[in-house]
Structure 1
Amino acid sequence: MGLFTPIAIKLGSQPWMPKLLPQITWTDQHLQRLTGRRVSLVGLAGLPSLLLTVKGRKSGIPRSTPLLCVPWQGGWLIAGSSFGAPKPPLWSANLRAAETVEVDYNRRRHTCTWREVTGDEKDKVWAHMLTIWPNYAKYTEWTDRVIPVFLLTPQSKEA
């Protein structure tokens, strides 16, 4: 846990956060681009993060999204939470349409496969994810949709 983690958790628990998601994502993308992926908003908060790049399901254009992640069994767990917004994040539909994705983690790029985590396994990983970002519990209260959890697994064992 980093120095700014408690502040990030407090900010992330505010019900107005979904409205700021586009600005947060834009700022984080530009911050990462300007610093050669050395600095991210989530990283400044002392939390693990990755940059997910997946082709648009309609356009075929690669789209990159900075995300909070939870390292898990040599890969990463990500949640399609959008801070509890009513609609799922756009990246989740693109992910579901892709066979593989690119993940930048700790300044290393990995080609990954993915799968949605469900059932008892989701309950197990969700409990672990809450230890990293307790606000996921609030997000389930703020939305009527089921928040999906995805496991990204590197094709090579370099994670």
Structure 2
Amino acid sequence: MTDTIHDNPTPWIADHIRRFEETGGHPRPGVADLLLTTRGRKSGLLRRTALAYVRDEDAYVLTASNAGADRHPAWYLNLLATPEVTLQVGSATFPARARPATPAESARLWPAVVAAMPSYAAYRTATAREIPLVLVTPAEPGMV
């Protein structure tokens, strides 16, 4: 992905991206954050957003909560269309591949996600949609 990257325009997310860059990837003490770049399913543009994550073996687990809204976040819809993504974790940036967690994986991982970000429990009750979990694995084994 060598095109221009367009940051999420939502003010608090854009601020989170800025803090991520200013702090070398550690904008919130005690919270594991990363930057996810997807290709826009409609525009074809590269889109970057900041997300919290938990680890599951080699995978980064992302939560498509959209703060409990009744629609999926754009980044989730984008990676469904094009699962090849870029992750930035700390100062390391690398290609990766994303896929929705299976129902069994989601059931197993949900407690760890809520333990890391308790607000996800409230988001889950705020919406009628199932909040998807996404597993993102580095394209090359052994990356970050």
When normalised by structure 1's length, the TM-score is 0.78
Poorly superposed stretches of 4+, deviation over 6 Å: none
Higher helix share: 1
Identity %: 28
Q: 1:115 aligns with which of 99, 104, 112?
A: 99
1:4 corresponds to which residue?
none
> Does 1:83 pair with 2:67?
yes
Deviation at 1:32, TM superposition (A): 3.3
Cα deviation 1:90-121 (Å, max 9, x = unaligned): 11111111131000001101211111112222
Unaligned runs of 5+ in 2: 1-8
- Aligned residue pair count: 135
Match of 1:97 in 2: 81
Q: Do the aligned residues in 1 keep the contact of 2:100 with 2:134 (CA within 8 Å)?
A: yes
Question: 2:25 touches 2:89 (CA, 8 Å); kept in 1?
Answer: no
Counterparts of 1:19-38 in structure 2, within 5 Å, are: 22-33=10-21, 35=22, 38=24
Q: Residues 56-78 of structure 1: CA distance to partner in whole angstroms, max 9, x if unpaired?
A: 11111111000011122122000
Using structure 2 for the length normalisation, give the TM-score. Answer: 0.85
Letter in 1 for 2:12: I
2:25 and 2:90 in contact (8 A); partners too? no
Q: Which runs of 5+ in 1 are unaligned?
A: 1-20
> What's the C-alpha RMSD, in Å, of the aligned pairs?
1.7
Cα deviation, residue 86, structure 1: 2.0
Of 115, 127, 131, the residue aligned with 2:115 is 131
Shift of 1:45: 3.9
1:45–1:82 CA distance, 2 compared to 1 (3 A): farther
